[in-house]
Structure 1
Amino acid sequence: MNLSEWLVRTARRVPAAPALLFGEKVVATYCEFAANAARIGGYLRTRHKIEPGDRVAIFMKNSTTYLELLYGIWFAGGVAVPINAKLHPREAAFIVEDSGSKVVFVAGADTFNSLVSPGCAIHDLETEPAFDAEVEAIAEPEPRAAHDLAWLFYTSGTTGKPKGVMLTNANLHAMTYAYFVDVDEVLSEDAAVYAAPLSHGAGLYNFMHVLRGSRHVVPLSGGFDAAELCELAPRLGNVTMFAAPTMISRWLATARQTGYSGEGLRTIVYGGGPMYLADIEAAVAHFGPCFVQIYGQGECPMTITSLSRVNILDRAHPRWRERLASVGPAQSCVSVRVVASDGADQPPGEIGEIVVSGAPVMKGYWNNPDATAQSIRDGWLWTGDMGTLDEDGFLTLRDRSKDVIISGGTNIYPREVEEALLTHPSVSEVSVIGRPSAEWGEEVVAFIVASSGEAPSSEDLDAHCRSLIAGFKRPKAYVFETALPKNNYGKVLKTELRKRISGE
């Protein structure tokens, strides 16, 4: 089934309901949202000869038009290729070329024109509207099968060129249905605020809110601004949003300064990176019972495990702190295992690689059968993440397999060291990596961002670590920074930190 059918059905059911908002201003009802998407679909089909299965890229920041473009692409039977808006134009051009996109929507094409082959049309929304009013709208969405592609998501490419993750209609249907079962109910009066990029997980969460006829809100800033959210949430009411853990930490710091305590919030789904125990405890204490955690990957979008608000609030369970530090049990439509390198199941508590199978798992990597065969083996997606399962099925992330530090033949998991350091009152942020050592193979290095006030000494931090973790795990060096390098999704770029200590 074509994803845009969900929009059509909602528009027929509640045509006058507010659909797209820019800040607090309604810019389209559901009837108008669906009509604009149908016109964009007609424009793509008529002017650009888009056929079912053709790729259409979007390289722009969040806007209400972004959502109309997505549904317009699907109306025509096309495959959406959302591109991280903060990529360099050359990186974006690689994705456009690799995907074979026939059209790319941009907002400002000056630096982009010379980088894309003539076979791809560049549609600049700064100089022309999203569709031609004279072009006839598509009457009904193009029929699409479950196995047909709908979303081509490119990985971050931290270990080489990014790979195109092929997500089908069936993948996205499963992800959407699992949200209602395992993550949260969605209400018609909800306001889905897109403070995180629409090209990533936040954009994938539009489907649930389209189905329920909720409001879709793009902040005036077009992204994440903590002070703006403190003012916007109480005015909108029933705010639900997806946020990376670093966004929540920054929002909490601003909320404490401004006196905002969570008014207007209903659900904050967090994921996309490690949420440290101390951070979620502080966030719940300040904002209240509005948090749900999910763990997923682009290859299994948003749908591996979830930690419910009930689990997050539970303080009666004897191992509640362990559960709060976990990412919860498997979502309903997947099976999750933790395995050794030979694929054998690890016993409870033993670290191994996380593998997952089920309806949301990608079809494969675009034009890359070798990478597909390496990642999907016997029906199981090997995630590259390391973790442990407890006897109740709760999964705890340790680290990416490539981030594990092997010192003196012993595995050291950076997250454990980071968790220890974050309990120091003078540490605001931390990231731990390994650096080459002639004696040990690798040794632990911690990059520290101090809280306001005087930075702690290395000796102080060393003593703090010794009181919490084994001596061999403690950092052999501390590097103090004013900020940690991050991508636009809030993930710390450990590859950049490794370059810094190697002198590159």
Structure 2
Amino acid sequence: MNLAEWLVRRAKLSPRSPALFRGTAMVGDYRGFARSAAGIGQALAKRFGIGPGDRVAIVASNCTGYLEAMYGIWFAGAAAVPVNAKLHGREAAWILEDSGAKLVFVTEKAGNALAPYLPDCCRTVVDLASYGFAAMRAADGVEEPVSRGRDDMAWLFYTSGTTGKPKGVMISNGNLHAMAFSYLADVDAVHAGDAALYAAPLSHGAGLYSVQHVLKGARHAVPESGGFDAAEIFETAKALGDVHMFAAPTMVRRLVDAAKASGSDGEGIRTIVYGGGPMYLADIVEAVEVMGPRFCQIYGQGESPMTITALPRERVADRDHPRWRERLASVGTAQSCVEVRVVDEEGRPLPAGETGEVVVRGAAVMSGYWNDPQATAKTLREGWLWTGDMGALDEDGFLTLKDRSKDVIISGGTNVYPREVEEALLTHPAVHEVSVVGRADAEWGETVAAFVVLEPGSEATQAELDRHCLDRIARFKRPKTYRFVEALPKNNYGKVLKTELRALVARERQTEGA
């Protein structure tokens, strides 16, 4: 079933219900939202020859037009290709060319960056602030979206490409149905009076989360700034009330810091779903202490979007269970639509407590990579998605992630999981953020290197942090070197770029002549 069907149904049931907001100002009800999507879909089909299965890209910063364009693409039966608006124009153009996108929706800055590199397949550019887009929205559209099947592609998402060229992840209508139902079953409820606040990029998980909010007839709000600003989020949430938002762990960290500084507790925010990177135990404990039981955790990948495990608010806030700290340090239990296992290199399930690779099977898992059968065969084996994440399941089914398989440090033949070291360092009161990587070593193969951001006004020495680690983790796991830095390098989704940190330690080692 076409995902735009849910928008049409909601518009019929609740035509005057508020739908689209710019900040706290309503700019469209559900009838208007559906009409705009239908008009865009009709224009794509009649004026530009976009048909079922074609790809249409969106290279745009957050705005309400983004949501209208996305549902318009689905209305026409095409697949949306969301592209990070902060990519270099050449990088964005590569995705357009690889996907074969026939048309691209842009916002001004992203469109200007893209313009010199547009591929031949995609010569039609529509600015979401232009008269042309307004005319598409106002066009007379068909009443019903193009019929699409469960397995037809709806979302062609390109991975971050940290290990090479990005790969296009083919996500179907059925995959997104499973994601939406699992959210409602395993993560959080959604009601018609709620508001989804899109402070994280719509080109990523935040955009996908619009689906269940459309299904339930909730409001959709984009901050006036179009991005993440903690003070603006608090102000907007207080005015809108019952706000849901998706946030990377680094965004949660910034919200908590701002709440502490301002004395806010996040009034108006009902739910913050965090994921997309490691949330450290010390950070989420503090987040609940400062802002209360507003947090839910999900673990997923582009290949199984937002749908591997979940830790709902009652478990995030639980302090009564005898092993609550262990559970809070986990990423929760399998979501309803998938099976989750931890396996060895041969794919054999491992006993509880043993570390191996996390594999997933179920209705939310991608059909494969776009035009890349070799990568598909490597990642999808006998129906299981091999995630590349290392983890362990406990006897109750809680999954604790160790690290990406490529991030594991092998020192003296023994595995060291950076996250375990990072968790230990973050319990020191002077440590604000930390990231741990391996450093090549002639004797040990690799040693542990830690990059540390201190709390403002705090001080700590290497010797002090070393003693702190020795009190908490095995001696062989502790960092051999520390780098005190002002900030950690991060991508546009707030993930720490360990590739940059590894490159830095490699250059330092070359300079030392080691």
TM-score (norm 1): 0.98
Counterpart for residue 146 of structure 2: 142
- Secondary structure at the aligned position of 1:119 is classed as coil
How many residues are aligned here?
504
**How many angstroms apart in 1 are the aligned matches of 2:117 and 2:241?**
43
* Aligned residue among 376, 394, 401 for 1:397: 401
Q: Which amino acid aligns with 1:350?
A: E
**How many angstroms apart in 1 are the aligned matches of 2:38 and 2:429?**
54
Matched, 1:97 2:97: yes
Counterpart for residue 63 of structure 2: 63
Contact kept, 8 Å, 1:75 with 1:138, in 2: the verdict is no
Contact kept, 8 Å, 1:43 with 1:131, in 2: the verdict is no
- 1:346-385 map, 5 Å: 346-385=350-389
Q: Which amino acid aligns with 1:18?
A: P
Counterpart for residue 36 of structure 2: 36
Q: Which runs of 4+ in 1 moved over 3 A?
A: 125-129, 133-136
* Aligned residue among 169, 188, 202 for 1:184: 188
Contact kept, 8 Å, 2:89 with 2:115, in 1: the verdict is no
- Secondary structure at the aligned position of 2:112 is classed as coil
- 1:186-335 map, 5 Å: 186-335=190-339
**How many angstroms apart in 2 are the aligned matches of 1:356 and 1:271?**
17
**How many angstroms apart in 2 are the aligned matches of 1:204 and 1:125?**
19
**How many angstroms apart in 2 are the aligned matches of 1:23 and 1:150?**
28
Contact kept, 8 Å, 1:46 with 1:135, in 2: the verdict is no
Counterpart for residue 511 of structure 2: none
* Aligned residue among 423, 430, 434 for 1:430: 434
**How many angstroms apart in 2 are the aligned matches of 1:313 and 1:110?**
45
- Secondary structure at the aligned position of 1:448 is classed as strand
Q: Which amino acid aligns with 1:130?
A: F
**How many angstroms apart in 2 are the aligned matches of 1:364 and 1:9?**
30
Contact kept, 8 Å, 2:93 with 2:114, in 1: the verdict is yes
Q: Which amino acid aligns with 1:85?
A: A
**How many angstroms apart in 2 are the aligned matches of 1:56 and 1:114?**
19
Q: Which amino acid aligns with 2:241?
A: G
**Cα offset, 1:138, TM superposition:** 2.6
Counterpart for residue 460 of structure 1: 464
Contact kept, 8 Å, 2:295 with 2:313, in 1: the verdict is yes
Contact kept, 8 Å, 1:40 with 1:131, in 2: the verdict is no
- Secondary structure at the aligned position of 1:111 is classed as helix
Counterpart for residue 6 of structure 1: 6
**How many angstroms apart in 1 are the aligned matches of 2:385 and 2:276?**
18
Counterpart for residue 120 of structure 2: 118
**How many angstroms apart in 1 are the aligned matches of 2:203 and 2:353?**
35
Q: Which amino acid aligns with 2:53?
A: G
**How many angstroms apart in 1 are the aligned matches of 2:347 and 2:335?**
21
- Secondary structure at the aligned position of 2:448 is classed as strand
**How many angstroms apart in 2 are the aligned matches of 1:377 and 1:479?**
40
Give unmatched runs, 5+ long, in structure 2: 509-514
**Cα offset, 1:453, TM superposition:** 1.3
**Cα offset, 1:129, TM superposition:** 3.4
Q: Which amino acid aligns with 1:132?
A: A
**Cα offset, 1:318, TM superposition:** 1.4
- Secondary structure at the aligned position of 1:398 is classed as strand
**How many angstroms apart in 2 are the aligned matches of 1:267 and 1:80?**
27
Deviations, residues 420-461 of structure 1 (Å, cap 9, x unaligned): 000111110000000110000001000000111143111111
Deviations, residues 94-132 of structure 1 (Å, cap 9, x unaligned): 100000000011112333223112331222334443253
Question: Cα RMSD between the aligned structures?
Answer: 1.1
**How many angstroms apart in 2 are the aligned matches of 1:392 and 1:297?**
23
Give unmatched runs, 5+ long, in structure 1: none
- Secondary structure at the aligned position of 2:73 is classed as helix
- Secondary structure at the aligned position of 1:415 is classed as helix
**How many angstroms apart in 2 are the aligned matches of 1:28 and 1:233?**
19
Counterpart for residue 445 of structure 1: 449
- Secondary structure at the aligned position of 2:358 is classed as strand
**How many angstroms apart in 1 are the aligned matches of 2:319 and 2:503?**
42
Report sequence identity in percent.
Answer: 63
Moved more, 115-124 or 355-364: 115-124
Matched, 1:50 2:53: no
**How many angstroms apart in 1 are the aligned matches of 2:481 and 2:421?**
13
- Secondary structure at the aligned position of 1:374 is classed as helix
Contact kept, 8 Å, 2:408 with 2:416, in 1: the verdict is yes
- Secondary structure at the aligned position of 2:132 is classed as coil
Matched, 1:386 2:354: no
Moved more, 487-496 or 451-460: 451-460
Q: Which amino acid aligns with 1:363?
A: S
**Cα offset, 1:340, TM superposition:** 0.7
**How many angstroms apart in 1 are the aligned matches of 2:113 and 2:249?**
33
**Cα offset, 1:333, TM superposition:** 1.1
Contact kept, 8 Å, 2:238 with 2:269, in 1: the verdict is yes
Q: Which amino acid aligns with 2:37?
A: A
TM-score (norm 2): 0.96
Contact kept, 8 Å, 1:388 with 1:396, in 2: the verdict is yes
**How many angstroms apart in 2 are the aligned matches of 1:96 and 1:354?**
31
**Cα offset, 1:151, TM superposition:** 0.3
**How many angstroms apart in 1 are the aligned matches of 2:184 and 2:34?**
23
**How many angstroms apart in 1 are the aligned matches of 2:64 and 2:388?**
35
- Secondary structure at the aligned position of 2:501 is classed as helix
**Cα offset, 1:12, TM superposition:** 0.6
Moved more, 311-320 or 144-153: 311-320
